[in-house]
Structure 1
């Protein structure tokens, strides 16, 4: 490959601009400000307009560390600007040059999509360059690529605004350049830790709680913020000031200063240390140029998308703090800063305390953001959930541009908060925003989700661009791990690709480089015409030529071959001889694995040689029994030999000091693993379906960095080594290890294990009592094991969230063990005991505060269900043949999915109560959708529209503004089932207007559901056995508002059907509920407001089936 030339940086910054738009205002100010800060900037101010761009200008671009592109309304009309832009983006791609756009009086979307004035400019370019279409297209691509980079936006074009804005831009550029210069000082977590000794105080930035905040500059030109706190009161030290200092930042506590100094996260303002003289204390922090969120929402009206982006970063920073057991205690918009790039920085960390060291009792916050437990701080402390309340208040503040409880005085707000009255959430906010805020401001701290859980909320879900960034960062980490000596080059090069369209999703859910990017990279490689002189090989024919003709040289560093696209190759034992610098070898299949069997043949003796510097070895369907006899594996980082014919990896012992990952899954002939005593850095071992393995090396028990161990389907594995020293192990999978008879003892050091799956270990009769030492265990799967008795110590698993023990017919559930012990586990969220011999559940199960899913289906001996936890959302009790009675506390239930299919002995009183509870759930808890299935054949009377068969019609009122919910009901026939399983029910909605036109909206076809619950449009798919008698399916949803508004006053036809046509709908009904209806309307059809509405249609009325589109 032709080497990329390196350029000496003659300039710090190259400024690309449209002269007639910005020369006399923004550009002049920016250039002057950069020069004032000793930044050497290149500005083209001398060449005559109309000349061809000289090589000297291109050279100036190449020799600059950073390019600033000022996009203005007439930028695209200049061919000169577009040529400069293309060159800048070329340098970004090839040399990793940093590029920052500045949008001046133009919307970034106009630049990105070439709309507005940019569209007009390109109409002219396409006329002028008719014979050079590729040039115009390259300009478009450069604009799109540049506009996707985070930069500065200045909508105004008034001169007086420029100087105010430019100063912030110049400071950001200065810090970027200094960060680039100080790259060698970057610690492992990527943050720059500055030590400030000599410094000078600059301009006033703002007023903090205990003193002013100034801009500061160190003796080496590093900018930072400095908080100045006076230690004097009337000329003498003040005890009160000292006390306040201790409370605010812990100056008098070295422990708390230690906490501050250890906090390093991209969304936390970095602490740079303190200095003190006879009169003042100075605290140094990272300087963030754009001010706090209060300044932003006062200046701009923040949109949902902006608030969502800021909130996600706040949660990331808060999750980091909470992972360190640190409570912020003063989270609000005033304490959240924003950089010009849009990056959020949480400040106010002087108020934070480490909860594992200090009891958090003192109130140091502003009244409007306080959580109820903070206000009512009697005889107990508050902790991490108080910050979640503040997050909700902060989001509310950003979206409304005012404090929560803004209509009240602080004392009044405190009184209201103390009574548990949350702030009002306006109805004009989006549904996602409202739901996010309401989850945060729940009065009970235990009901609030953690910061980690909130990161999965729809309101703050990552955008596609952020997901791409995460993927690229993950690639960077893996490359740095493989090539540690080149960490800086790898990080710098790839981080500059983050904002491009790098990744596409294939039909097999794989993420790959975009075709254009990949082709460009290989095009550069293939510029070297002599195949064996290339550094990397990917083309199947090139790889075939080099290996079969033995043309390998020490120039080749990587081989990547999709063997599903290659012709069959018969290699010799010395095919890799000469490739002494081969570091990357990947033979993989992106197509059918059937076509890859024996795609590469090796002689019976295997390979003679592999490079000793090989760090990544990935060879699917490896055809030999052993790797090269003289192969030295000490540089291996990843070894992936899936579906191989290996019997052992190599003969003799190998030191594996760099090995991180070993994946030998599917190697069904593998009999023995190598000695792993020196592989102390290994993090993941996958031996799934290694069916010939009988035992594992004892050295595996000493791998203290091992995080994942997968032994699924090792069907001949009889024993496990001691695992007590695997202190980093997080996931242990032993599914279908049919011959495993004994589980090893657990020591106190196994504090990281999160998942333990033992599904199908039929010979495993018991668990050790030491299982209680797994204090971090969250997922315990004992399905289809031979375990008969659970150890008493299981109650010690305080963090257990998911417990699976289905199909364990021999498991004894008598007191004081079994499920009665599980009732003590307050973190449980899912209990699955399907197919067990339970006769009843303990009454204490109602004490579980977090359980959401309970699966007791096919428990044939179960007769009675007690009151269940109010947190429960899904109950699966289908096929419980003996179940007669079910009690529930309807006034506090969150149940949205109830399955009593084939519970044929369920008494009538219980059936009526289940429906009544569902209505109460709707009235009280306002769950957006819920459904149930149970034996029955009578549709409740309050369904005002009923019909025989699968269709029912009604006329919508002309005003659907008060719509709240719509209830559906269907009677399914239990006669002559055509198959063993009931596939589910789908609702199809068709609309027909007065003209006879029909419309079928795909959004109205309700999808069948996952096994664990219901989709947003809540139909019933329960996977019950064939229905033994008629069943009633009843559900409601609030998802039809949009369609009702669209078709108000029209005839509406609802059709109920089983998409697989295995179930018959005998009767069906619909009932629309409006906000003005009271609770009595459900029970008495004569009182419901809808029945008196002449537009609601006639009971039993039918229309023809709507046309299928």
Structure 2
């Protein structure tokens, strides 16, 4: 037993239990089996279980454990102490990735989740003591629901000694005392029946030269084919990358990524840390070794290539085969290699191609397979990329900072394309016809300084969410009208030759952010009122902007209005200029209004404080105010 005075820095296992139910029966056998294999388990002493609040010593013990095992017994929920423990354990699972296994000792898992029977009686008792609406009791119920929904062991008919002594003993033997192997093997065996345990452990027994890889690979072998593909992609390419990026890439390959990633987390093969996916080094090496074993002596016959030497040998010699599914080469600094026109021709199953800091000494056309779904090659030196005739599966095309020549007809077979990035490509002089890419969601052409006009297909595109034309300094014509219903972000910052913003004939419920900083726009159309869900409007340094339409007061969802540096703007409209000045229009959600350097002559618009009920940040420096309003509203 351990008390607070003899806590160690870390624990392999924290055991949560109701002492009167299991301390002298199941728990003692289980604790002994773990101890015999050098697994350090935290079991508290009864003296610490006083009062209704968990002691700091136990909170620390939970936080410092690799695994928590909750032994749900008949009287478990009657103890506030136990409920505090399970709440803390589930908190650590969510925030720290703590692995949690429930054991249902002579209770049905449904009794814990619902709660029912003894668990219902216990919760009624707690509600009487702490109040029916007690936040504490609500947290306990949620913790029981979450923990009771996990896969675990359902022990009935007094068979727990056989399980704890025999099967657990064998599992610990093959884990060889290594916490990583223990976690992965435990995750694999969790919730399986006895004969499945025996089958898995017999498989390990047949390997006389057992290594940790044998234990880890057992969990991999239990995955579905799609889950194996996801695991190998993460192991070879994406460890440490953002969850959002990984999900986008793998979804483009038609994997059921959401479920697949959750399965890998449950199997303890990967972890989610903040916004990234991480993986233990040994698990990553196992994944890479699985790929290398596909053909140890010939990389062109492997499914994935990521080592510079292997990629160079395969591509420079045009030696690709149908076996290659993915190539990701990310170099720490720019390096030039030779990649010929037919380097990818024979890779008919290639679905993923990412080349970062890879410069090609060959600048001619390169032929790519139609199966390709995700293609990133910034600074690609080839001016022409060709595909075989027929439909293309490409979902993402990222050729930023390249010399690519954009030809309209190239896109006629790209029906699946969702993400297109030609940013900072000096050769881009015209925008693609988006009618040819009906599923496009993001178009990034920022920094294309030779682009002069937007294609009219943008105006009506049904699925476009983001259009980035920032820094297109020669763009003089955008659109006559804007009716793209799903457009959420429009960025025209630095389009210094742009003098007119398009009319908006119908309500657009998608656009939330509009950036017009540094344009030469002289006025906004009255129809700006149709951007009914606009939240951010940035007009900084629009030095030719002389007027704002009164209809701007109809932007009821606007939160930030930035007009700093609009030196020709002499007057901010007042609500009374509206056709119906008695309407309820105004800025009910506006928090920030910046008007520095606008040379306003008066602040009359501030008199009607009902138009600015939530305004918190008001900037009025560098003006020629002849008079200020007689009072300012009571903004806090």
TM-score by length of 2: 0.64
- Kindly indicate whether residue 556 of structure 2 is the aligned counterpart of residue 790 of structure 1: no
Contact 2:370-2:391 within 8 A present in 1 as well: yes
Instruction: Find the residue that maps to 2:108 and give its secondary structure.
Output: helix
Instruction: Find the residue that maps to 1:339 and give its secondary structure.
Output: helix
Q: 1:478 to 1:338 in 2, by over 3 A?
A: farther
Please state how far the C-alpha of 1:519 moved relative to its aligned partner: 4.2
Instruction: Find the residue that maps to 1:677 and give its secondary structure.
Output: helix
Please state how far the C-alpha of 1:495 moved relative to its aligned partner: 4.7
Corresponding residue to 1:764 among 521, 545, 550? 521
Q: 2-side partners of 1:475 and 1:486: how far apart?
A: 15
Contact 2:338-2:361 within 8 A present in 1 as well: yes
- For residues 573-972 of structure 1, what are the structure 2 equivalents within 5 Å? 573-588=341-356, 596=357, 599-607=358-366, 609-628=367-386, 630=388, 634-648=392-406, 651-721=409-479, 724-761=482-519, 763-785=520-542, 786-813=544-571, 816=574, 824-842=586-604, 843-847=606-610, 848-861=612-625, 864=628, 866-871=630-635, 894=636
Higher helix share: 2
Contact 1:476-1:490 within 8 A present in 2 as well: no
Q: 1-side partners of 2:592 and 2:326: how far apart?
A: 47
Contact 2:111-2:117 within 8 A present in 1 as well: no
Corresponding residue to 1:168 among 109, 115, 118? 109
Please state how far the C-alpha of 1:817 moved relative to its aligned partner: 6.8
Partner residue of 2:35?
A: 77
- For residues 283-298 of structure 1, what are the structure 2 equivalents within 5 Å? none
Instruction: Find the residue that maps to 1:709 and give its secondary structure.
Output: strand
Please state how far the C-alpha of 1:810 moved relative to its aligned partner: 0.7
Please state how far the C-alpha of 1:656 moved relative to its aligned partner: 2.4
Q: 1:168 to 1:654 in 2, by over 3 A?
A: same
Q: 2-side partners of 1:71 and 1:825: how far apart?
A: 68
Q: 1-side partners of 2:525 and 2:492: how far apart?
A: 16
Q: 1-side partners of 2:97 and 2:563: how far apart?
A: 54
- For residues 182-581 of structure 1, what are the structure 2 equivalents within 5 Å? 339-341=145-147, 474=244, 477-479=247-249, 481-484=251-254, 486=256, 490-491=260-261, 493-496=263-266, 501-503=271-273, 511=276, 513-514=278-279, 516=281, 518-527=284-293, 528-529=295-296, 530-565=298-333, 567-581=335-349
Contact 1:151-1:340 within 8 A present in 2 as well: no
Partner residue of 2:81?
A: none
Q: 1-side partners of 2:374 and 2:527: how far apart?
A: 39
Higher RCO, 1 vs 2 (CA within 8 Å, ≥6 residues apart): 2
- Segments of structure 2 that go 5 or more residues without pairing to the other structure are 1-12, 41-56, 70-92, 151-239
Contact 1:290-1:339 within 8 A present in 2 as well: no
Q: 1:169 to 1:791 in 2, by over 3 A?
A: same
Q: Please, which moves more after superposition, 657-666 or 781-790? A: 657-666
Please state how far the C-alpha of 1:565 moved relative to its aligned partner: 4.7
Q: 2-side partners of 1:840 and 1:343: how far apart?
A: 64
Q: 2-side partners of 1:115 and 1:536: how far apart?
A: 33
Q: 2-side partners of 1:748 and 1:735: how far apart?
A: 24
TM-score by length of 1: 0.38
- For residues 1082-1093 of structure 1, what are the structure 2 equivalents within 5 Å? none
Contact 2:241-2:277 within 8 A present in 1 as well: no
Please state how far the C-alpha of 1:712 moved relative to its aligned partner: 0.6
Please state how far the C-alpha of 1:792 moved relative to its aligned partner: 2.2
Contact 1:830-1:852 within 8 A present in 2 as well: yes
Deviations 1:360-405 (A, max 9, x none): xxxxxxxxxxxxxxxxxxxxxxxxxxxxxxxxxxxxxxxxxxxxxx
Q: 1:836 to 1:486 in 2, by over 3 A?
A: closer
Contact 1:726-1:749 within 8 A present in 2 as well: no
Q: 2-side partners of 1:650 and 1:116: how far apart?
A: 57
Instruction: Find the residue that maps to 2:435 and give its secondary structure.
Output: coil
Deviations 1:867-920 (A, max 9, x none): 33333xxxxxxxxxxxxxxxxxxxxxx3xxxxxxxxxxxxxxxxxxxxxxxxxx
Deviations 1:327-377 (A, max 9, x none): xxxxxx99x895142889xxxxxxxxxxxxxxxxxxxxxxxxxxxxxxxxx
Contact 2:550-2:573 within 8 A present in 1 as well: no
Please state how far the C-alpha of 1:744 moved relative to its aligned partner: 1.2
Q: 1-side partners of 2:389 and 2:122: how far apart?
A: 59
Contact 1:292-1:338 within 8 A present in 2 as well: no
Contact 2:270-2:278 within 8 A present in 1 as well: no
Contact 2:464-2:484 within 8 A present in 1 as well: yes
- Segments of structure 1 that go 5 or more residues without pairing to the other structure are 1-16, 31-68, 83-105, 119-142, 155-161, 176-202, 207-288, 312-332, 345-469, 506-510, 589-595, 872-893, 895-1109
Please state how far the C-alpha of 1:531 moved relative to its aligned partner: 1.2
Q: 2-side partners of 1:116 and 1:581: how far apart?
A: 41
Instruction: Find the residue that maps to 2:613 and give its secondary structure.
Output: coil
Q: 1:644 to 1:494 in 2, by over 3 A?
A: farther
Q: 1-side partners of 2:130 and 2:303: how far apart?
A: 52
Instruction: Find the residue that maps to 1:544 and give its secondary structure.
Output: helix
Q: How many residues align?
A: 481
